Amino acid sequence: MAKLVAQLGAAIGRTFTYDLVQAVAPLNEATLQEALAQLVEAELVVQRGMPPQATYTFKHALIQDAAHQSLLRGTRQQYHQRIAQILTERFPEAAETQPELLAQHYTEARLGEQAVVYWQWAGQQALQRSAYLEAGQHLTTGLALLATLPETPGRAKQEIDLQLALGSALIATKGNTAPEVEQAYVRARALCVQIGETPQLLPTLRDLCRFYISRGALPMARELGEQLVRLAEHTADPTRRLEAHSNQWY
């Protein structure tokens, strides 16, 4: 049983808590505690605190990797799916504060749709706390996974949101006029055109217009700005109209 618990713990992460491994493991409490004690005695993991408040950390990342890789692919995917479900159902605070954990488990479980949702959530949270490099990594991972899913209007709308968020992260890390920023916004605009009129077109045109203003490509910025004004005038949102006219002021 110690091997099973080590594999489950490795799937959870370098550090795992007693209450989470207990929720995931198909073992009674006595058997689980005995298995954990064996891992501690073998100096494979370090224990801090006592169950049910205990946490366990693999003494070396290589030990965790070895335990994780010893799982058959199908079993590994099942474990990660189970962990993600348990986190969502019993530990909702983890989903709220560390959505990247859910994203990683759903990715390992090969559940792309769920994984993309949490990668996007993780990226947006990172943006809110000004962790721009981290945000870029989460959003890029989400976009890569999204590209593996079937093409649908829903997928296109989701990609637009990801591209706009990525553009914000790239501005902070690479600068206002970086070509990667243009690529993100141009892709978002192309998707808006592809799926037709969408509320996402307004923020897309706004961000792309501001990019060209920063680059000094004023004819292109003016063309986009005029389109933005025309669209904004047909909305009931005064904030959108103000944003549109502010670009023209620049």
User: For the segment 131-145, what is each residue's pLDDT rounded down to a tens digit?
Assistant: 999 999 999 999 999
CATH, range 1-71: 1.10.10.10
| Residue 247 near residue 206, CB atoms below 8 Å | yes
pLDDT, position 52: 87
pLDDT, position 144: 97
The list of the chain residues with pLDDT below 70 reads 197, 236
Beta strand pairing call for 55-58 and 45-48? antiparallel
Long-range (24+ apart) CB contacts under 8 A made by 105-108 are: 105/80, 105/81, 106/80, 106/81, 107/141, 107/145, 108/11, 108/76, 108/77, 108/80
Distance between CA atoms of 167 and 164, rounded to whole angstroms? 5
pLDDT, position 109: 96
Give me the residue label for tokens 């370098």.
14
Q: Note the pTM of the prediction, 2 decimals.
A: 0.88
Answer whether the bond into residue 238 is a cis peptide, omega within 30°: no
Q: Where are the domains of the chain?
A: 1-71, 73-149, 166-250
The DSSP bridge partners found for residue 9 are none
> How far, in Å, are 155, 229, 243 from residue 100 at the CA level?
20, 37, 32
Question: Amino acid letter at 180?
Answer: E
pLDDT, position 197: 67
